[in-house]
């Protein structure tokens, strides 16, 4: 896996800042977003947060940076919203990894950047909880669109996909099992490319 930084991502993200400022009317919210955006997930260490997340999830650095950006947006929404926000599976994986970095997560991210604790409450299970989190996720997507535009379906799948029967991510021991790519993912990608959607 190539873990060299993809600098084009940094360039692409700079254009988003100005358009977001016009959407965030509240100055406190804009300052919050600036703090979130400026948080460094890539300190100058060989195995920094981004590289470790890419390695653990078997994502490219580019995919990992996109996931971290989605996580930052989720945290912004979770802090400004009066209702419970529910992450996508991808964002949830970034959140889990961030909480492992306890000093950065609690002392810097929550205390200094967000200005509030952001607790992770897993579902207690059952149909009532499933319905509740479906509604929370739908509300998250709606608020995301209000501030950041249409969510990327790879990072933020539709509610029926997010709450499908099978979990998207599973922890496996690669010394015991092998993983193979799902051919449907690539077939769908080829069809979209031929249709001019990509």
The runs of H, that is alpha helices, within 24-170 are 27-38, 49-57, 61-80, 89-100, 102, 127-148, 159-162
- Predicted TM-score of the model (pTM): 0.77
Q: Is the pLDDT of residue 146 over 70?
A: yes
What are the percentages of helix, strand and coil residues in the chain, rounded to 5?
Answer: 60, 0, 40
Q: What is the DSSP letter of 158?
A: -
Q: What is the DSSP letter of 155?
A: T
Q: What is the mean pLDDT of residues 118-129?
A: 90
Residues 141/88, Cβ–Cβ less than 8 Å = no
Q: Is the pLDDT of residue 18 over 60?
A: no
Q: To 5 degrees, how large is the angle CA 13–CA 19–CA 20?
A: 85
Stronger pLDDT, 39 or 9, i.e. the higher one: 39
Distance of CA 100 to the CA centre of its chain: 16
Angle between helices 49-57 and 89-100 (to 10 degrees): 130
The torsion region of residue 184 among left (phi > 0), alpha (psi -120 to 50) and beta comes to alpha
Q: Is the pLDDT of residue 171 over 80?
A: no
Domains in the chain: boundaries? 7-168
Q: Is the pLDDT of residue 24 over 90?
A: no
């Amino acid at each position: 896996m190539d873990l060299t930084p993809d600098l084009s991502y940094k360039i692409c993200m700079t254009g988003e800042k100005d358009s977001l400022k016009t959407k965030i009317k509240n100055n406190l919210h804009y300052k919050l977003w600036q703090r979130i955006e400026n948080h460094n997930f890539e300190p100058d260490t060989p195995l920094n947060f981004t590289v470790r997340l890419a390695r653990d999830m078997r994502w490219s650095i580019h995919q990992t940076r996109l996931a971290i950006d989605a996580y930052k947006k989720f945290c912004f929404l979770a802090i400004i919203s009066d209702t419970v926000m529910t992450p996508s599976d991808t964002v949830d994986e970034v959140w889990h990894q961030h909480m492992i970095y306890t000093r950065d997560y609690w002392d810097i991210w929550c205390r200094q950047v967000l200005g509030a604790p952001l607790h992770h409450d897993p579902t207690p299970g059952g149909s009532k909880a499933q319905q509740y989190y479906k509604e929370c996720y739908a509300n998250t997507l709606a608020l995301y669109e209000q501030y950041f535009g249409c969510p990327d379906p790879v990072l933020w799948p539709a509610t029926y996909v997010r709450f499908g029967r099978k979990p998207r991510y599973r922890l496996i021991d690669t010394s015991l099992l092998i993983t193979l790519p799902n051919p449907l993912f690539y077939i769908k990608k080829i069809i979209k490319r031929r249709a001019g959607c990509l």
